[in-house]
């Protein structure tokens, strides 16, 4: 059971770090996207697409980590109960 708790703690920590860093990156990119009105439309579209791609990447990684914790069969878990 201790191995499962350790895995949950590590996954939760990784999840929080990924979400905070992803939010910070997207906030920085969004600020430059909205505040600079002199850039051409194509450049703004590129910045916006970068935010979308990074957001999807973080969502995929976070979902994968949660899936690994929920569906990972732990042999030590059944032996220690």
Render pLDDT for 16-55 as a digit per residue (tens, 0 to 9).
777 677 666 666 655 544 455 555 555 555 566 677 777 7
The total number of structural domains in the chain stands at: 1
pLDDT tier for residue 66 given thresholds of 50, 70 and 90: confident
Q: What per-residue confidence (pLDDT) applies to 61?
A: 81
Q: What per-residue confidence (pLDDT) applies to 59?
A: 78
DSSP class of residue 1 equals -
Q: What per-residue confidence (pLDDT) applies to 33?
A: 46
Domain range enclosing 60: 2-72
- How many helices (H) and strands (E) in the chain? 3, 0
Does residue 30 sit within a domain? yes
Q: What per-residue confidence (pLDDT) applies to 43?
A: 52
Query: CA–CA distance from 77 to each of 4, 6, 8 (Å)?
Result: 7, 12, 13
Does residue 26 sit within a domain? yes
Does residue 79 sit within a domain? no
Does residue 15 sit within a domain? yes
Among the ranges given (8-12, 16-20, 23-27, 61-65), the one the predictor scored with the smallest mean pLDDT: 23-27
Does residue 81 sit within a domain? no
Does residue 7 sit within a domain? yes
């Amino acid at each position: 059971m201790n191995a499962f708790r350790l895995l949950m703690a590590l996954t939760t920590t990784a999840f929080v770090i990924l979400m905070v860093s992803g939010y910070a990156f997207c906030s920085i990119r969004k600020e430059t996207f909205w505040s600079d009105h002199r850039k051409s439309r194509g450049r703004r579209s590129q910045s916006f697409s970068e935010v979308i791609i990074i957001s999807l990447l973080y969502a995929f990684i976070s979902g994968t980590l949660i899936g690994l914790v929920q569906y990972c069969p732990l042999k030590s878990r059944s032996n220690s109960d």
